[in-house]
Structure 1
Amino acid sequence: MENAVKFREKLRNGQVPLGCGVSFKDPTVTELFSHVLDFVWIDMEHNALSLESVQDHIMATRGSDSAAIVRVPWNDPVLIKPVLDIGADGIIAPFVRSAEDVRLAVSACRYPPQGIRGFGPRRPIRYGRISDAEYCQRANDEIICIAQIEHIDAVEAMDEIVKVDGLTAVVIGPNDLAGSMGHMGNPQHPDVQSAIEKVVTTAKDAGIYPGIGMVGDAEVFQKWLDKGIQWVQVGVDWWHLANSIDTSVGQLRQGISSRNA
């Protein structure tokens, strides 16, 4: 969990950790990203990643300082437990709508008496080379628990959500938030932007680190920094690949067209 500790330290020091979403099965993607990023967002919610594939991605971060944070398919202890048992540095619980939802996520990340996590790690205890007692203590102290705020109900419950003991951070899901407010496909709507600002302010004032996902636009990035965002998911693997090939091929075709003109 050394990378989880490093991620937390960067947050505390105001370094604005940067990460990228991973959706492809091949762990080479994570290995490539992890040498330049502070965390990798391994996404089980919207992709066809199996538990075995997720483990491969987690292992691919271990030669770096990048934290392996897994967005589980749903906020369910049954889904959270195996992800932690294969060595994730933390989890993102999607679509929470209340403080009670967040308490469930945090509890799933903590061993008793702080939580309800069942004991059964293998990789995290280095196959018996770390004592069970030491691991349980470190896991309860260090594992990252993030709640995804992507429904207006969660925005309205923020004052209670940020009081949940053990919550590390929140991350805003602008698109689903917009949908829950009647503005699907338009996260730039003023009402949605106002809701996002409320989440950021409430979280930051309570010592909970607010994050957001976005593409690699420097101007938009600066806007969110100015509003108080403290960590950022900069796009996803397929977006970077598509953007890179579109740009490269577009430039080459433009050169060919100019030559033939």
Structure 2
Amino acid sequence: MPVRVGDTFRDALAAVDRPLAGMWVCSGSPLVAEICAGSGLDWLLIDAEHSPNGLESILAQLQAVKGYPVQVMVRPPVNDTVLIKQYLDLGVQNLLIPMVNSAAEAEAAVAAVRYPPHGVRGVGSALARASRWNRIPDYLARASETISLTVQIETEAAAAAVEEILAVDGVDAIFLGPSDLAASMGLLGQQEHPQVRAAVEHCLAAAQVAGKPAGVNAFNEATARAYMEARASFVLVGADVAMLARGSEQLAATFVPEHEETPDGGGPRASY
């Protein structure tokens, strides 16, 4: 069953009886985002934590992918009330909040996506794309229905508190970041380490008990499939910039002599 267009990520997860496969969109390019949106994948993550994305480029990418049957999640660089307000007013419906280490931090993220009296989101709907500039009837009353909130578990502290984070009302899902989790465990660059894999699987199991979806980042196909078998509900299996980097390297390896001088005289061309 395909992902339903127009629903939030929360709704899509509930409607589809299989893990959703997605990819990172990190280039900052609306054109690249649109190419990825038409790939047939279930979802995209437009990233602003480790990528050159500001409000204007995020808006352009949201507009570029709007006509495609794909769910779009956006990750801000930090769990910040003001920044989250700006993302929501742009029309971001699915948020991934990074580095959520406690129930209190999860509660702050929930408050940031809800209008008073249930939260602290600033009211600017008349000025915002989210409400189509007040063309959506009852937007203020119904805004929370249009927003899906996922929080990222990517430290030892977060993994230890995962049950409490999952229990926060308004957290729709969790997402595991094995790279930062490995670093916090003293295993930098070893996201495939058995201790890291065990921590991820612990969080996946906790989410299943809590009745909430959990996702994970896994570019290695075998690892991704193993996490899917461990009941991951959504997985990021690649990234636009990584695919371009590896693909261009493969072209160079195929067509450029290994030790040829670079055009700027900078010495031998690197081999891959």
TM, length-normalised to structure 2: 0.85
Supply the AA of the counterpart residue of 1:21. Answer: W
Query: How far apart in 1 are the matches of 2:70 and 2:116?
Result: 28
Task: Say whether 1:44 aligns with 2:48.
Answer: yes
Shift of 1:212: 0.9
Shift of 1:125: 1.6
Shift of 1:221: 2.2
Task: Write out aligned runs for 1:42-191 (5 A).
Answer: 42-121=46-125, 122-131=128-137, 133=138, 135-191=139-195
Task: Write out aligned runs for 1:21-32 (5 A).
Answer: 21-32=24-35
Deviations 1:182-203 (A, max 9, x none): 1111122222111111111001
Query: How far apart in 2 are the matches of 1:103 and 1:14?
Result: 29
> 215, 238, 243: which one pairs with 1:240?
243
Identity of aligned residues (%): 36
Equivalent in the alignment of 1:227 = 230
Supply the AA of the counterpart residue of 2:12. Answer: K
Equivalent in the alignment of 2:214 = 210
Shift of 1:107: 1.1
Equivalent in the alignment of 2:11 = 9
Query: How far apart in 2 are the matches of 1:214 and 1:251?
Result: 27
Contact persistence 2:8–2:148 (CA under 8 A) = no
Structure 1 pair 105/74, CA: closer, same or farther in 2 (3 Å)? Answer: same
Aligned length: 250
Shift of 1:37: 2.5
Deviations 1:116-150 (A, max 9, x none): 1111132122223212x2x2343212311111101
Contact persistence 2:8–2:94 (CA under 8 A) = no
Query: How far apart in 2 are the matches of 1:144 and 1:31?
Result: 22
Deviations 1:35-91 (A, max 9, x none): 223222111111221111111111112111222211111111111110010011221
Equivalent in the alignment of 1:19 = 22
Structure 1 pair 201/171, CA: closer, same or farther in 2 (3 Å)? Answer: same
Query: How far apart in 1 are the matches of 2:209 and 2:195?
Result: 21
TM, length-normalised to structure 1: 0.89
Instruction: Show structure 1 runs of 5+ residues with no match.
Output: 255-261
Higher helix share: 1
Shift of 1:244: 2.4
Deviates more, 1:46-55 or 1:10-19: 10-19
Supply the AA of the counterpart residue of 1:84. Answer: L
Q: What secondary structure does 1:5 align onto?
A: coil
Q: What secondary structure does 2:91 align onto?
A: coil
Query: How far apart in 1 are the matches of 2:217 and 2:246?
Result: 17
Structure 1 pair 40/164, CA: closer, same or farther in 2 (3 Å)? Answer: same
